Amino acid sequence: MAEKSENILEVQDITKTFPGVRALDSVDWSLKRGEIHALVGENGAGKSTLMHILGGVIQPDSGEIFIDGEIVKFSNPHSAALHGIAIVFQELSVLENLSVAENIFANRQPANLINIINRRSLYEQSSKILQLFNLDIDASVLLREISPDQHQVIEILKAISQNVKVLIFDEQTSSLSSEHVKVLFKIIRKLKQDGISIIYISHHLREVFEIADTVTILRDGRKVDTCPVSSVTEEDLVRKMVGREITDMYGSPLAPPLDECFRIENASRAGVFKNISFSILKGQIVGLAGLSGAGRTALARSIFGIEPIDTGSIFMQGKPVKISSPTMAIRNRIAYITEDRKEQGLFLDMTIRENCVAPSLNCFTERYGLIDENAVSDFAEYYRINLNIVTPDIRQKVANLSGGNQQKVLLSMWMGIKPLLLIVDEPTKGIDVGAKNEIYRLLRQLAAEGVAILLISSDLLEILGLSDRILVIRTGSIVAEFTRQQATEENIIAAASEVSLKEKINAAE
- The CATH number linked to 207 is 3.40.50.300
Q: Assess whether 50 and 111 both reside in one domain.
A: yes
Q: Assess whether 432 and 470 both reside in one domain.
A: yes
Does residue 153 contact residue 135 with C-beta atoms inside 8 Å? Answer: yes
Q: Residue 238: phi, psi to the nearest 5? A: -60, -45
d(CA 340, CA 333): 21
Q: Is 369 inside any structural domain?
A: no
Q: Assess whether 181 and 297 both reside in one domain.
A: no
Q: Is 17 inside any structural domain?
A: yes
Does residue 67 contact residue 9 with C-beta atoms inside 8 Å? Answer: yes
- Please give the residue range of the domain that contains residue 285: 260-333+419-508
- Residue 76: partners with Cβ closer than 8 Å, 6 or more residues away: 56, 57
Q: Assess whether 268 and 226 both reside in one domain.
A: no
- Residue 474: partners with Cβ closer than 8 Å, 6 or more residues away: 290, 291, 294, 495, 496, 497, 498
Does residue 387 contact residue 308 with C-beta atoms inside 8 Å? Answer: no
Q: Assess whether 85 and 27 both reside in one domain.
A: yes
Does residue 237 contact residue 40 with C-beta atoms inside 8 Å? Answer: yes
Q: Is 397 inside any structural domain?
A: no
Q: Is 342 inside any structural domain?
A: no
Does residue 150 contact residue 137 with C-beta atoms inside 8 Å? Answer: yes
Name 10's bridge partners.
30, 66
**Of 242, 277, 301, at which residue does a domain stop?**
242
Does residue 269 contact residue 307 with C-beta atoms inside 8 Å? Answer: yes
Q: Assess whether 431 and 500 both reside in one domain.
A: yes
Angle, helices 373-386 vs 403-413, to 10°: value is: 130
Q: Is 467 inside any structural domain?
A: yes
What pLDDT score was predicted for residue 509?
Answer: 40
Does residue 39 contact residue 226 with C-beta atoms inside 8 Å? Answer: no
Q: Is 141 inside any structural domain?
A: yes
Long-range Cβ contact pairs of 146-151 (< 8 A, separation 24 or more): 146/100, 147/293, 148/175, 149/175, 149/176, 149/177, 149/180, 149/292, 151/92, 151/94, 151/96
Does residue 61 contact residue 80 with C-beta atoms inside 8 Å? Answer: no
What pLDDT score was predicted for residue 368?
Answer: 72
Q: Is 338 inside any structural domain?
A: no
pLDDT mean by block of 10 residues, the chain; 509 residues: 74 87 90 93 83 91 92 89 83 76 79 76 85 79 78 78 85 69 82 89 87 93 93 88 71 76 95 94 94 87 94 95 93 89 79 84 76 85 83 84 83 87 89 80 90 91 91 93 87 75 41
Q: Assess whether 287 and 224 both reside in one domain.
A: no
**Of 210, 242, 274, at which residue does a domain stop?**
242
What pLDDT score was predicted for residue 3?
Answer: 57
What pLDDT score was predicted for residue 501?
Answer: 38
Q: Assess whether 270 and 126 both reside in one domain.
A: no
Q: Is 21 inside any structural domain?
A: yes
91 CB burial (10 A radius; 0-12, 13-18, 19+): exposed
pTM assigned to the model: 0.66
Does residue 207 contact residue 173 with C-beta atoms inside 8 Å? Answer: yes
Q: Assess whether 145 and 197 both reside in one domain.
A: yes
5: DSSP letter: P
Q: Assess whether 214 and 271 both reside in one domain.
A: no
What is the count of structural domains for the chain? 2
Q: Residue 406: phi, psi to the nearest 5? A: -60, -40
Q: Assess whether 99 and 26 both reside in one domain.
A: yes
What pLDDT score was predicted for residue 507?
Answer: 42
**Of 215, 242, 269, at which residue does a domain stop?**
242
Angle, helices 433-448 vs 403-413, to 10°: value is: 10
Q: Assess whether 194 and 293 both reside in one domain.
A: no
